[in-house]
Amino acid sequence: MGVIAADAIDIISGERDGKLALCGSPTCRAAFFDTSQSRTRKWCDMNTCGNRQKKARFNATHRKKARS
């Protein structure tokens, strides 16, 4: 919670350029500070939430192809 508060203070004071966002993972929903160039980051951490979501999508696609 302290990290979120510090990021919010930096945003309000104009010291950091970015946006506060929520993780796109249905099991996480953590808040994070998106400093990517396009401000389109989806997950709080690519190594955990992003990897899980991409793996789930990959497995679902390959299950559909295997049934066809």
Q: How confident is the model over 12-61, as pLDDT tens digits?
A: 787 777 788 999 998 898 888 888 889 999 999 888 898 988 998 899 99
Q: What pLDDT, on the 0 to 100 scale, is given for residue 42?
A: 92
pTM for the full predicted model:
0.60
Residue 59 pLDDT: 93
**3-class SS string, the chain:** CHHHHHHHHHHHHCCCCCEEEECCCCCCCCEEEECCCCCCCCCCCHHHHHHHHHHHHHHHHHHHHHHC
